[in-house]
Structure formats: structure tokens, C-alpha cells
Amino acid sequence: MPWRHVDAKSERLQFVRDARARLVSFTELCALYGISRIVAASVLPRTD
């Protein structure tokens, strides 16, 4: 089975959608996406 191809832009947009939905805590969401909270916090304001 081949690896799933992930586009960085679409992954970033999905992260923003998930963050805005607030289904899990911000810390848990960052862990799910494998990014630090500092990086995640810098991504969110740029998408508004």
C-alpha cells in the first residue's frame, strides 16, 4: 500500500478548520497534526 500524498496547503487549511471547530483542545489538535503550539498559533492569524 503506497504512502498517502499530503499537500502542505490543504493540510494547513484542514488544521484551521479543525481548530475553528473546537472539537478537541488546541494542544491535542497540535499533537494530532504533529506541530508545536507556537507554529500552530502563528498559522491561525494568517488565515483570517
Domain carrying residue 48: 22-48
Query: pLDDT by residue (tens digit) across 8-35?
Result: 899 999 999 999 999 999 999 999 999 9
User: Is residue 47 one of the residues assigned to a domain?
Assistant: yes
pTM (two decimals):
0.79
Residue 10 lies in a domain: no
Q: Please tell me the total count of domains within the chain.
A: 1
The answer to the question of residue 6 being in a domain is no
Q: What is the pLDDT of residue 6?
A: 84
pLDDT at position 48, please?
55
Q: Determine the pLDDT at residue 25.
A: 96
Asked if 33 and 40 touch (Cβ cutoff 8 Å), the reply is yes
In a domain, 40, yes or no: yes
CA distances from 28 to 3, 5, 24 (A): 24, 23, 6
Nearest 5°: CA angle at 17, between 26 and 14? 100
